[in-house]
Structure 1
Amino acid sequence: MARDDEALKTRLLLAPLDDLLAEARTRRYTRAGPLTPARMTYSRKVFIPLTRLCADVCHYCTFATTPSRLAAPYLTEAEVLEIARAGAAGGCKEALFTLGDAPERRYAAAREWLIERGFARTIDYVRHCAEMVLRETGLLPHINAGVLDEDDWRMLRPVAASVGLMLESTSDRLMDKGMCHHGSPDKVPAVRLASLAAAGRAGVPTTSGVLIGIGETAEERIEALFALRDLHLSHRHLQEVIVQNFCPKPGTKMSGAAEASEADFLRTIAAARIVLPAEVSVQAPPNLNDERLCELIDAGIDDWGGVSPVTQDHVNPEAAWPEIDRLEAICARVGMPLVERLTVYPRFIAEGGWLEPAIRPAVLRLADSEGLGRDSAWSPGMAQPVPGTVHAPLGRRYEGPVASRIHRILDRAAGGGGIGEDDITALFAARGSAAQAVVEAADALRAEVNGEVVTYVVNRNINYTNICTHACSFCAFSKTSSKAGLRDKPYNLDLSEIASRAREAVARGATEVCLQGGIHPSYTGDTYLAILRAVKDACPDLHVHAFSPLEVSQGARTLGMPVSDYLTRLRDAGLGSLPGTAAEILCDDIRAQICPDKLTTGEWLDVVGSAHRVGLPTTSTIMFGHLENPRHWARHLAELRNLQLDTGGITEFVPLPLVHMEAPFYRKGLSRKGPTWREAVMMHAVARLALHGAISSIQVSWCKLGMDGAAAVLAAGANDLGGVLMDESISRAAGASHGQLADVADMRSAAQSVGRKLRQRTTLYKDVAAEMA
């Protein structure tokens, strides 16, 4: 052992316990970096005990048994699916496959059962069942199948989001006669270390851990932690290390053995946090320690492991799972909100190479923007109730302290001087009571800036063509002559039809017409001018809000003139303002993936800035909930703020949550299912705070969130419901279930639900009555 490790081991063994616990807590609070507030995670799982047969005879185990005590050596496919479906119905995201080590090596009954069904080994049947569960239920398999070689680990990669193999101990003494692992060849420390190393070479996200109180010494516990650390430094594959306390069970050879003392248990947890790299989580099982959950938190853990609302812990059936609500309350009291994660940790989702293409789509379907678990089954555009209400936008009221850093950021934001990218990212990461504080601060700021009024505009959308030369991976609206959508076909309106629709809009009380379309291959700058003139000739007083920055760029390029000159021609022809769409995410690393042939971030900002400089106001947008993360959101908001402070032409900010159902990259399994409800709420709230002093209006898209969702977000910093959007078609093409026209009565009801009045406005936020007087 290296000299530094010897010194560290001595300190971990001899230092006062309180000092070690304090050091572990400090490391735990700083492990995720300054932008991520402290939080506690867990995985909601269903336990699938595929077989209770095992080649080993550990002297503390009640899970492993003999064929004579079982109705069948293995669960059947039907039994596996029944358990998995119950788990999915109970809100689980993980299917934990647990079983003994290679029982076919020991029991003829196991061999015969497998052979009859076409399987040579238990691990082959495990893979088959995991693939079935993944396909039929969408649950993510986590496989604890004992000692495997590298080929077996690689075989599991397409069907298992993560795997597990407890090291337990590095003490060879435990193999001696009379000790707990005697007669258990798979528990030889060198064998288990070799298998864990093989999992690392195979590139599988792996859980491991130590079991304390089974006869090992205090020194040996630290040595086991060093061994796990070294494995991880070689392969970076350990996502968590479990520090599990042995609990004696009746009917075993160790039923009378003494457990490790609480002091020893807490010391080992603290040592794990100190020894292991920061990216490795430290976990302790809550069901084995129900009476000392707070003490475990104080020792430095950051994860509770899997908790099942459906099945018992088949390895420790005597220890019931704690209620998740109770865990949440305990965590909230210490300022560590409880957050659901997936069986695979966020780092392995974000970094390439860990997830096979076959399983990545299933992971993304369950993941939020941070790689944690989605907070509900809701997604934008779906015809189902939203999780939030006007009284609790996040879905519920939270209790607990809020970190002082969050309060400082909120104070700076309210001051109007602007907050930086790091601070914005930290607000997006807030959970629990901290997220609630962000929402409340945003709504207070909304009241200060906009008063107790909700505004809207009467407008009509005219999407004059859905034919487009671009192939944006998120877009279900654009078509080519050969690429018909599920809801519509390629079309190209003529000028007379566009003019007719404008006249109809005026007859129905519209003050604005919004014109946008695909980038048609035959359109030139003159085409857009002709469309504009057709509307203005038909309706001279109608405000024309038209042409995305991408269309403006296309028009200028085809006429061979600078963008600012072309914008001047549009303005002089009657254009009133531009929609700030085609922004998507103003980060080129994301744009390169979702819209590589569209404007770059710099080009988009240049077009919008040029519009402002020639006297054309614009809106601003963000499209979120796909490949990006909160850091990208923060950069996007910072870009918009800087642009507005420079040019002053942005009238409003409009978050546009991805409607995923027909989006090409979602259908290919390459994106998430749009933002979660929490993320949708937080986008509006954080935007209110980040843009304060620059952009004063935050609009909610009712056609993405539904009117109930829009009402809830009105209580989280939004002040505007946008337009009634006669003939809105882009969201509908993407699969949204919400209507193509908002009823003003529904808007009024939404405003009244948050205690505000509804007032019609013009496109540029003037009072309609005053403008018409």
Structure 2
Amino acid sequence: MTGNTDNARDWLDHLDAVSMTELLSRAETMTISGHGTVVTYSRKVFIPLTKLCRDVCHYCTFAHRPSELSAPFLEPEEVLEIARAGEMQGCREALFTLGDRPEDRYSAARNWLADRGFASTLDYLAHVAGLVLKETGLLPHLNPGIMNARDYSVLRPLSASMGLMLESSSSRLCEKGMPHYGSPDKLPSVRLESIRHAGEAEVPFTTGLLIGIGETRLERIEALLAIRDLADQYGHIQEVIIQNFRSKADTLMRNAPDLPLDEHLWTIAAARLILGPDMTIQAPPNLRDGSLSQLVRAGVNDWGGVSPVTPDHVNPEAPWPHLEKLETETEAAGRHLRQRLAIGPAFARDVTRWADPALQIAIRRSVDARGLVRENSWHPGAGDEAPELMTSIVTGRDPQIAISLGLVGQGEELNKAQIARLFTAEGRDFDHIRAFADELREDRAGDAITYVVNRNINYTNICLYRCGFCAFSKGSTRSERGPAYNIDHEEIARRTVEAWERGASEVCLQGGIHPSYDGHTYRGIVEAVKAAVPQMHVHAFSPLEVHHGATTLGLSYEGYLADLKKAGLATLPGTAAEILSDDIRSIICADKVDTQQWLSVMRAAHKVSLRSTATIMFGHVESYDHWAEHLLQLRMLQQETGGFTEFVPLPFVHMEAPNWRRGETRSGPTWRETVLMHAVARIALDGAISNIQTSWVKLGPDGAAAMLQSGANDLGGTLMDESITRAAGGVNGQIFDVPQMQLLADGLGRPLRERSTVYGQRSGQLTLAGEN
């Protein structure tokens, strides 16, 4: 690796010129900037497919001779038994480890494979990895040793990730008397070539260093630079392990000293500074018992695979820490322990590129928008019990989050990166954001929980558009996913009268884009409502419907909306926003209005004094950056027009959504993400939009109550009829009446107040419900 020598020397001089205290401080700061306060791990089982190996590394206790084993390989039934035991304990990963090409050295291995019809160890590995995928919910991670391009192409559809430790880039360690002598697969050039092939095959890849086996600091830096070069070229290195040598009995290096802790910390910090803030740096937690906090502060943000079922077969003398202990020690370092899959979070977020199509569905359905394992089984719309929330005010740990909240407290606006960072909050930072948002809510909107008595009228579910998430619309009058309908003006009028008689002040009208509809249709709907009940507030038509109505008549948005206002339209629902980023819209609703068209309709509505709500539908294929961009778009338009009355987060309800059923989306937002959407919206929109509404339809009463303690102040409408979420699989009912809302408010110790659609006092409503 002479090509990197000069650069490596520069790095060594730079690192040696810094005190250990300063070095660790820089590394910790860089780690937090890239990963926040989260430290990840993978809950796994360790499957030692074969302990035979053609190499003779001088420190290894994993490799055995055939005479020391009852069989050269685990049988398929044994593999599945281990995998199923792990699945029962909540594991997500099956880590296959095995020696390099044992059939090249041992006839016992060749004969065993031949007797069962397998041409090689890798051929057998493909078979059992496929069984684990088929028979369990585990994702395989493969460590089969040296492989070529063909090997990777065969195994990629059967594994979420693979790995090969570089260990060292020093060929000196392969000389006689050194630890890699007699091990052809440990030649640095061979290992680097195999890692390069993995990059060409777009395999999420784990590699790393084994330090303390006789290498120098300069050689460690050379190895890190070699890894960095491959990562820069192919982008496939998902994590770099900095593993410390520990001597073992019955090896040639049994008398060699264990790596001192300060050398381990120095190398971790060097790796962080060389590889940058975004790289995942891992250290095995079972090899540094009692020193995990120090490893974290040196730059570690991942503990690798930890098993509640199987031992570490490579280091059998070092048992895995109990997961509760691991969490405690991670918390002691000021971080939060979170589970990941075998595929790293960044790669899970870009699963279309980094996973075979056969694996993509399982990965998408398992993770949140960060690419981490969903923290619990809660899903919006499913009727799941809402997890408990802390109510005490705490101080967070992430300095960037703390700075952002301080800025908002001083009346400053946050930028996109700052808003996106808030969505990453965990643990104490999550609680800090909630508490801060709830204080803002009290200051800006008071203690009252508001609501409007209204009725939904979805006049048709027949739609020309093909939004991937919509289970409500039908493509024609033929029954495709249930019966299609198109109600007439008489029925719209009847439902309006019925709503008025039941105390409603508003009807909310939206529907599909029926092929026979034009701009006159929507005007006729408004006129039907106003003829039936002149006093009724007409809250109607998404920007998509306005766009359709205007374009079919050849009118501008402003001209068409002015005409609808004359007919009696009072306000607009801010639906059809989904995510205001065209890269996401091209995936979930490619034929719908684009971002600028949606904003243009809203701008035109506000210009003709029609106020509107604003929404977001989140939890499908988008990222936290998209959420931040969405909030910024709304804030900027509100600062221009002042026309938004409220912001309504709408969690994606996945159960019957066509794109989820095809495996194209995540399974809705997690509970943490849903709470944060309400809280961060309150923070990011502070000074622009005063009202944050929570959807009882999506969240249920207990979920809505939690949001009302996390920045929201409004429960929305009683609805009377709810169709869209129910079509998507939601189970929270069609109506949430005033007595139910009162019960919720009483449980929170806050008053309940009926409002008008635009947040004024409803005529005749002089006191807060529940007040004297």
TM-score, structure 1 length as denominator? 0.92
Correspondences of 1:495-534 after superposition (within 5 Å): 495-534=489-528
The answer on whether the counterparts of 2:396 and 2:402 sit within 8 Å (CA) in structure 1 is no
SS of the equivalent of 1:770 reads coil
Q: How does 1:333-412 map to 2 (within 5 A)?
A: 333-350=332-349, 353-386=353-386, 388-391=387-390, 401-412=396-407
Aligned with 1:158: secondary structure? helix
Q: Aligned residue for 2:24? A: 21
Cα offset, 1:545, TM superposition: 1.4
CA distance in 2 between counterparts of 1:514 and 1:402 reads 43
Q: CA deviation at 1:152?
A: 0.7
Q: Deviations along 1:487-517, whole A, 9 cap, x unmatched?
A: x222211222222222332333322221110
Match of 1:575 in 2: 569
Any residues of structure 2 matched to 1:140-539 within 5 Å, and which?
A: 140-176=139-175, 178-350=177-349, 353-386=353-386, 388-391=387-390, 401-481=396-476, 484-486=479-481, 488-539=482-533
Partner SS state of residue 197, structure 2: helix
Find 1:711's aligned residue among 705, 712, 719.
Answer: 705
- Determine the C-alpha separation between the residues in 2 that align with 1:375 and 1:300: 24
How far does residue 716 in structure 1 lie from its aligned partner after superposition? 0.7
Amino acid at match of 2:420: T
Do the aligned partners of residues 496 and 753 (structure 1) sit closer, same or farther apart at CA in structure 2, a change above 3 Å counting? Answer: same
In the alignment, structure 1 segments of 5+ residues that lack a partner are: none
Equivalent position SS for 1:20: helix
More moved, 721-730 vs 14-23? 14-23
Relative to structure 1, the CA distance from residue 155 to residue 263 in structure 2 (aligned partners, 3 Å threshold; closer, same or farther) is same
Does the 8 Å contact 1:334/1:401 carry over to 2? Answer: no
Matched residues in 2 for 1:433 and 1:684: separation? 17
Question: CA-to-partner distance for each residue in 1:453-480, whole Å, 9 max, x for gaps?
Answer: 2222222211111111111122111111
Q: What is the distance in 2 between the residues matched to 1:190 and 1:398? A: 55
Tell whether the 8 Å contact from 2:455 to 2:504 is kept in structure 1 after alignment: yes
Q: Structure 1 residues 383, 133: CA separation in 2 closer, same or farther (over 3 Å shift)?
A: farther
Deviation at 1:158, TM superposition (A): 1.8
Structure 2 distance, partners of 1:133, 1:735, is 31
Query: How far apart, CA to CA, are the structure 2 residues paired with 1:377 and 1:140?
Result: 19
- In structure 2, distance between residues paired with 1:642 and 1:483: 43
Q: What percent identity do the matched residue pairs reach?
A: 54
Which amino acid in structure 2 is aligned with residue 422 of structure 1?
A
Q: CA offsets per residue over residues 281-315 of structure 1, 9 Å max, x none?
A: 22111111012112212322222222233433222
Cα RMSD, aligned residues only:
2.6
AA of the residue aligned to 2:61: T
Q: 1:722 aligns with which of 700, 716, 722?
A: 716
Task: State the AA in 2 paired with 1:573.
Answer: A
- CA distance in structure 1 between the aligned counterparts of 2:526 and 2:105, rounded to whole angstroms: 81
Deviation at 1:10, TM superposition (A): 4.5
Query: Alignment partner of 1:252: what SS?
Result: coil
> For 1:142, what is the secondary structure of its paired residue?
strand
Moved more, 665-674 or 144-153: 665-674
> In 1, are the aligned partners of 2:396 and 2:431 still within 8 Å (CA)?
no
CA 1:113–1:477: 2 relative to 1, 3 Å: farther
Using the TM superposition, give the Cα deviation of residue 656 of structure 1 relative to its aligned residue in structure 2, in angstroms.
0.5
Q: Alpha-carbon deviations, 1:372-412, whole Å to 9, x = none?
A: 332223221223223x32545xxxx8977534442332233
Q: Quick check: 2:8–2:221 contact (8 Å CA) kept in 1?
A: no
Distance, in Å, in 1 between the alignment partners of 2:158 and 2:394 is 39
Q: Could you list the per-position Cα deviations for residues 526-563 of structure 1 after superposition, in whole angstroms to 9, with x for gaps in the alignment?
A: 11122222222222222221111111111112222222
| Distance 1:461-1:111 versus aligned 2 partners, 3 A rule | farther
Give secondary structure in 2 for the equivalent of 1:157.
helix
Secondary structure at the residue paired with 1:623?
strand
* Alpha-carbon contact 2:163-2:206 (below 8 Å) kept: yes
Q: Distance in 1 between matches of 2:10 and 2:630?
A: 47
Alpha-carbon distance, 1:635 to partner? 1.4
Q: 2:11 aligns with which of 8, 11, 19?
A: 8
Contact 2:349 2:369 survives alignment (8 Å): no
The equivalent residue for 2:770 is: none
Q: Give the AA of the match of 2:688.
A: A
Which residue identity lines up with residue 542 of structure 1 in the other structure?
M
Structure 1 residues 68 and 702, CA, compared in 2 at 3 Å: closer, same or farther?
Answer: farther
**Shift of residue 111, structure 1, vs aligned partner:** 3.3
Name the count of aligned residue pairs: 763
Identify if the C-alpha distance between structure 1 residues 79 and 699 changes in structure 2 by more than 3 Å, giving closer, same or farther: farther
1:457–1:436: structure 2 CA closer, same or farther, 3 Å change rule? same
Q: 1:679 is matched with which residue?
A: 673
Q: 1: CA distance between counterparts of 2:80 and 2:451?
A: 50
Separation in structure 2 between the aligned mates of residue 423 and residue 13 of structure 1, nearest angstrom: 34
Q: Trace 1:537-552 onto structure 2 (pairs within 5 A).
A: 537-552=531-546
2:167 match: secondary structure: coil
- 1:400 and 1:265, CA in 2 relative to 1: closer, same or farther beyond 3 A? farther
Is the 8 Å Cα contact of residues 238 and 279 (structure 2) preserved in structure 1? Answer: yes
The ranges of structure 1 where at least 4 consecutive aligned residues each deviate by more than 6 angstroms after the TM superposition are 397-400
CA–CA separation in structure 2 for the residues paired with 1:85 and 1:761: 55
What SS does the corresponding residue of 1:340 show, helix, strand or coil? strand
TM-score, structure 2 normalization: 0.93
Confirm or deny that 1:44 pairs with 2:43. Answer: yes
- In the alignment, the residues of structure 1 paired with residue 224 and residue 710 of structure 2 have an alpha-carbon distance, to the nearest angstrom, of 46
SS in 2 for 1:384: coil
Unaligned runs of 5+ in 2: 768-772
SS in 1 for 2:303: strand
Contact 1:332 1:399 in 2 (8 A): no
Where 2:418 maps in the other structure, the secondary structure is: helix
**AA of the residue aligned to 1:525:** G
Distance verdict in 2 for CA 1:439–1:465, change over 3 Å: same
Asked whether the 8 Å contact 1:247–1:259 carries over to 2, the reply is yes
Q: Distance in 1 between matches of 2:734 and 2:762?
A: 23
1:634 counterpart residue number: 628
- AA partner of residue 318 (structure 2): A
Helix, strand or coil for the counterpart of 1:314? coil
